[in-house]
Structure formats: structure tokens, C-alpha cells
Structure 1
Amino acid sequence: MSKLLKYDGYNYLRQRLVLATLSGKPVRIEKIRSDDENPGLRDFEIKFLNLLEKITNGSVIEISFTGTSILYRPGAIEGGRIEHDCGTDRSISYFLEPMIALAPFSKKPFVLILQGITTDHIDPSVDIIRTVLLPQLKRFGVDSNLELKITKRGAPPLGGGEIVFSCAPIRQLKPVQFIDEGRIKRVRGIAYCTRVSPQTANRLVESARSLLNRYIPDIYIYTDVYKGAESGKSPGFALSLVAESNTDVLISAEKAAEPGQTPEDVGKMASKLLLNEIRKGGCADTTSQWLNLLLMVLAPEDVGKIRIGELSAFTIQYLRDIKTFFGVSFKIQPDTSNDTILMTCMGVGYVNQNKKTT
């Protein structure tokens, strides 16, 4: 039996459950909002646990009577075709992000159909996952049948969106050394709107271009206007932007409309956030740091290296958790020539035992 790992608090719940699933180590998480007026797990966290149960085989999840502690004994990642309603407390991405890390190591090809909100202002949108996180997986050798389709858009509060994520399992990742950040050569983006005037998408594009054109001429922002049944249940609009360098670095930023914001506000804010991400430098943006570092740890027993701009608080905690579950420490080396950080580690040589060698 592996030793039971213990944690307190609801923060970083998803990443700990994912690391437990990959490492096969049981974990107990206690004191979940124990001092809160409404203690215990939230609805969306229970839905996430339900999803974990659906995609694994033989997992044991015990939730205490008050909901303030959970015990998770991970089973094997099974995969297959799974439908799941994510509710409307958090967006689909809250559920999808961890699945991207688990899907390559499943037994059967993953076909995951998730329903709910496609873009909100808490989690990365499904667009960013499709345009930024999936290409990172390809770099590590996960490329067969990897795709994300947005079949319906759903804005908060009522959602009504739907996505289909598919990924074929692999036996082992490829080691990666990615330290050349190159120069930004173009910006691509998606301005989407549902249940508002189609003109809204054009206004998003105009305001973003007014700022970004001073920086780079090659900008193309695709407008995605949803009508009728595909537009979900609530009005909404958002802009996601991706800057691409000549060495295939992808840097992303986005902004979803909050109450009282005009398309012009959203367009400008998204552009400023993008320029800020570009300024940080590195080969992985804030959104995709965790995925790159996790895949480097799971890669073959070889040295993996990546350059990042600055470590977010989330990533710092992620590195601590990786050390606890996998015993891997990163060498963190600041590069003073351009204020970036080189992260180096030795992979653990993780092999997907479910997948037979062909």
C-alpha cells in the first residue's frame, strides 16, 4: 500500500486529485472550508469528483458526512465515451483542464462530452484550451486523434454550452527541451458572442486591433457568432487572443464580459493582458505552465528543460505537490539576460501500463 498523503483546505483540490490519479497514491484532504458558514465541498467540486469516478475504474471516493474531508484512492484511468453535465457554478474548463493531463494515459480512447458554461471570467475558456493547451500536448508526443470541438456556446449564468474532447492514449511521452522563445510574429484570436447583436463581435475586434496594431501588423481575429440553439441560454461575449512566435511559442490572454462592460472595454482589456503576458517572456504562458511542468515530470528518464516568464503562485504550489507525489524537484535557474527562468528536471519515465505496445 502506498502511504496516504494528507492535505488541508479546498485550494489546489483538482491538481492534488490529478497527481494522486497519475501516481496511484491515495490522498486525504481535510478541513475543506471547515470555518465557513457553509462548510464542506461545493457543488462543482462534487461534480468534479463524479467525473473522476466516471473516467477511472476502481477508484474509491469517501466524503465525510459534513463534506469537509475526502479520501480518494485512485483506480486505473479507463477513458471511453463519457457524458457529464458540469452545472453552472464553474465553467467547463474547470473540469476539462485536469482531464487533458489524464487522457493520454487512459486505457481506451477518450471521448468526453461536457455540458455547461464555455467561457467565464474565472477559468481559462475552452478556446484557450483548444488553441494553447492542446498544442503543448502535441509537443510531448500526444498527437493522435487529439481534438476539441465546441458544439454549442454557453455564457454564464445559465450556460447551455457543449464541447467534445477526444484523445487517443499513448504509451509514453517524449522528452522536451524548449528554451528558445523566438520573436512574436503574429496574433490570432476568437471574438465570440451569443444572444447579443452580431455587431458586438466586430466591436471586440476593432478595439483589440486599435491597441495591438501598434505592436504587430499581422493580426487576425476570427468572429464567432452563435444563433439559435447553438447559442446557449444566456447572452455573453468574450475575446481570446493568442500570440505566436517564430519558434512556435504560444502566449494567450482573454477576457469575458462581466456585467456593465462594453465590447470596447473587453477588447482593450484582453489586449493589455496579452501584451503583459508577452512582456513576461518565456516559452509557456501562465495558463499552460502547470501542464508543461507536469508532462516534463512524466516524460522518459531524460533531462527536460523549459523557459518560463515568471512563476505564478499556482505553479509554485504545483511544484511542491509534484515533489510530494512524484519525488521530483526542479532546478530553477533565473536567466538575468531577459528576466526569464529556466526550469530543468529529470523525467520519471512514466509508462501507461494500460496501453499495449504496438
Structure 2
Amino acid sequence: MLVIDGGILEGGGQVVRMAMSLSALLRKDIEISDIRSRRSKPGLKAQHLVGLHLIRDMTCGQLTGDHFSSTDITFRPNELISGNFFGDTKTAGSVTLLLQTSLPCLLYGSCLSYLRLKGGTNAEMAPQIDYTINVLKPILERFGVSFDCEVIRRGYYPKGGGEVVFKVDPIREIRSVQMTEFGELTKISGYSFVAGVLPIKMSHSMADSAINLLREAFPGVPIDIKRVHENRDKAFGNGSGIVLIAESSNGCRVCGSALGKQSVSTESVGESAAKDLIEDMSCGAVVDRYLQDQVIIHCNH
């Protein structure tokens, strides 16, 4: 059995997510100790438990220590299976982080799988669902990965209530991809949204403040940011945010994003997303700071 230090480096939930996925793919028993030990509230939370149970179900495996605030678990996976899987954080826990855990395993099932997830679609400390659809998905498609994403309902902090369905096609092997040059910046697109009782003028404010910085940094580059007030039947609760995506002639995509907060002005939210994008673009990277740990597991298949 392989023993993994769950407190290594930043000691966050990503250690648990990737360890569980790799354990299932390699069919190797693992023990993870000191889970999230560097966090202010160590141990497993609702979102982490849902991810653990999804991987357990996808392998018909044996999982022990899977309870709230647990800092130690043991997992013994069996063969990967395909099918219909469901996970509900019952909080604003991120559905995109649950996908990160599940997708590598679903890709190596024997047939088509469906994954229905409930929780937060646009949550702090996690990729927004718009990032998953517009950045992660097209990049993984270059590796031969194929999945569809249907957003049934958006959900925000603190209530959650979002629902997303993923349809994942199985794959025989990952294609090798060479991404070493960003190429020429061809356009910047974006999505500035509000939901619930929040007024559409907040969406305009986030978009306008972002555009001002982007035009200064990238003169002459086409910029198109949609301003949206989410339909009440397509969003649960109040929320706001912005996602900005830069696309290149070599098919690279770099993103900057931010979520609205009561204590932060809408102008500052838009500027924060734009500054993230500008900073990542300035170093000439072919992927942004958020995509790196999402694609690395697929590079090791």
C-alpha cells in the first residue's frame, strides 16, 4: 500500500483529489494521512467526501475513514466501471472540482458515462463552470478527450443549488500534444454575469472596468464581453462574476476570472479578472496558472 502525506506543499484538497484519481487509474491501494493539515479547519469537508464517494463508486472500491473532518483515509480500488453517477455537496462546494476528480476515471471506462453534480457552479477557490467549458474542455479535446457539459442551473456561495450534467466518452489513449509557443493573441472574449436580485448594471460595470485595462494592455485586439442577467429558472440565489478568455493563433487559451463580493466594488471585480489575465499573458505561458494542475494528470495517462 502506498502511503501519501496529505499535508505536503500547500496541504489542500488537491492532494486528495489527484491521489484518488491516480489510485483508481493504477488500481493501487493507498492511504492518505494528515489531510488538509495546513488549512485552518483540517480534514475532509462535504465537497471532498462527495469526490471520494464518486471514485469509490466508479471502482466498486473499499473506502475507510470517509467522514466529516477525517484526516486519514484508506482506499482499495477495483476495476473502473462506466455508468450513471451522481454527487451532491448540499453546499456551494464546487462541481468543477468534483469533475477534476472524476473525469480521468470516466475516460477509461468501457462505455459512455453520465455524471450529474449538484453544488456551486461559480465558487471561490475553484474554476468557474465557464472556465471548464471554454478553457479546459477545448484544451483537453486536443489530447483526444471528449465530454459534453450541460448547465441545468447555476449555483453560488453560500447556498449552492447548482446542477450540471457531464456526458463523458471513453478513450483508448491520450494523444500527445506539443504546446510550447503561445502564438499571436487573436481575441479576448468574456462573460460578465449577475443573478438573483442583483441588477444588470453590475454586469456592465465589471465588463467595462475589465475592458479599460485590457485595451490598454492589448491595443488593437478584438474584445467581446457578454453582459448577462441569468434567468431565475437557470440560477439559484444571488451571484456575480466575470470570466475573461484570451485565445491565440496556436489554439492556446489563457483565462482571468473573479467573483463578486459584498465588500468589493464591481469595478474592482472586473479589474481583478483583467489583471490576472494580463499577468499570465505577460510571462508567455501556453496555459494559465489554473490550467496547469488540471491537465497534468491527463499528461501522465
1:27 to partner: Cα distance: 0.8
Q: Equivalent residue for 1:4?
A: 2
1:105 to partner: Cα distance: 1.2
1:97 pairs, out of 88, 96, 100, with 100
1:163 to partner: Cα distance: 1.1
Assess if the C-alpha contact under 8 Å between 2:3 and 2:33 holds in 1. Answer: no
2:201 pairs, out of 194, 199, 203, with 199
Q: Equivalent residue for 1:245?
A: 248
Matched AA of 1:227:
N
Assess if the C-alpha contact under 8 Å between 2:46 and 2:89 holds in 1. Answer: no
Q: Give the Cα separation in 2 of the matches to 1:32 and 1:292.
A: 23
1:223 pairs, out of 223, 227, 233, with 227
**Which protein has the larger Cα radius of gyration, Structure 1 or Structure 2?**
1
Matched AA of 2:3:
L
Matched AA of 1:155:
Y
1:278 to partner: Cα distance: 0.6
Distance 1:174 1:33, change over 3 A: closer
Assess if the C-alpha contact under 8 Å between 1:190 and 1:239 holds in 2. Answer: yes
Q: Give the Cα separation in 1 of the matches to 2:84 and 2:157.
A: 26
1:87 to partner: Cα distance: 2.5
1:296 to partner: Cα distance: 2.5
Deviation digits for residues 65-122 of structure 1 (CA, Å, limit 9, x no counterpart)? 8833110112223232222212225221221222233332122312111111111221
TM-score relative to the length of structure 1: 0.76
1:221 to partner: Cα distance: 1.1
Q: Give the Cα separation in 2 of the matches to 1:18 and 1:295.
A: 11
Q: Equivalent residue for 1:328?
A: none
Q: Give the Cα separation in 2 of the matches to 1:193 and 1:148.
A: 21
Q: Equivalent residue for 1:171?
A: 172
1:285 to partner: Cα distance: 1.5
1:185 to partner: Cα distance: 1.3
Q: Percent identity?
A: 25
* Equivalences for residues 52-201 of structure 1 within 5 A: 52-54=55-57, 56-63=58-65, 67-143=70-146, 146-195=147-196, 196-201=198-203
1:157 to partner: Cα distance: 0.5
Assess if the C-alpha contact under 8 Å between 1:32 and 1:69 holds in 2. Answer: yes
Q: Equivalent residue for 1:290?
A: 293
* Equivalences for residues 240-279 of structure 1 within 5 A: 240-279=243-282
1:38 to partner: Cα distance: 6.4
**Which deviates more, 134-143 or 6-15?**
6-15
Distance 1:59 1:274, change over 3 A: same
Q: Equivalent residue for 1:210?
A: 212
Q: Give the Cα separation in 2 of the matches to 1:24 and 1:7.
A: 19
Distance 1:71 1:278, change over 3 A: same
Assess if the C-alpha contact under 8 Å between 1:57 and 1:77 holds in 2. Answer: yes
Q: Give the Cα separation in 1 of the matches to 2:37 and 2:126.
A: 24
Assess if the C-alpha contact under 8 Å between 1:251 and 1:277 holds in 2. Answer: yes
Q: Give the Cα separation in 2 of the matches to 1:280 and 1:87.
A: 39
Q: Equivalent residue for 2:239?
A: 236
Matched AA of 2:234:
E
1:23 to partner: Cα distance: 1.6
Q: Equivalent residue for 1:18?
A: 21
Matched AA of 2:76:
R
**Which deviates more, 157-166 or 63-72?**
63-72
1:49 pairs, out of 52, 72, 80, with 52
Deviation digits for residues 37-69 of structure 1 (CA, Å, limit 9, x no counterpart)? 966422222222122223x13211011788331
Runs of 5+ unmatched residues, structure 1:
299-358
Q: Give the Cα separation in 2 of the matches to 1:103 and 1:259.
A: 38
Deviation digits for residues 192-247 of structure 1 (CA, Å, limit 9, x no counterpart)? 211111222222211111111221430111223213232202x1100011100111
1:131 to partner: Cα distance: 0.7
1:34 to partner: Cα distance: 6.9
Assess if the C-alpha contact under 8 Å between 1:30 and 1:69 holds in 2. Answer: yes
Assess if the C-alpha contact under 8 Å between 1:43 and 1:89 holds in 2. Answer: no
Please give the secondary structure, in 2, of the residue aligned with 1:76. Answer: coil
Assess if the C-alpha contact under 8 Å between 1:101 and 1:291 holds in 2. Answer: no
Matched AA of 2:257:
E
1:256 to partner: Cα distance: 0.5
Distance 1:280 1:155, change over 3 A: same
Distance 1:210 1:33, change over 3 A: closer
1:291 to partner: Cα distance: 3.6
Please give the secondary structure, in 2, of the residue aligned with 1:203. Answer: helix
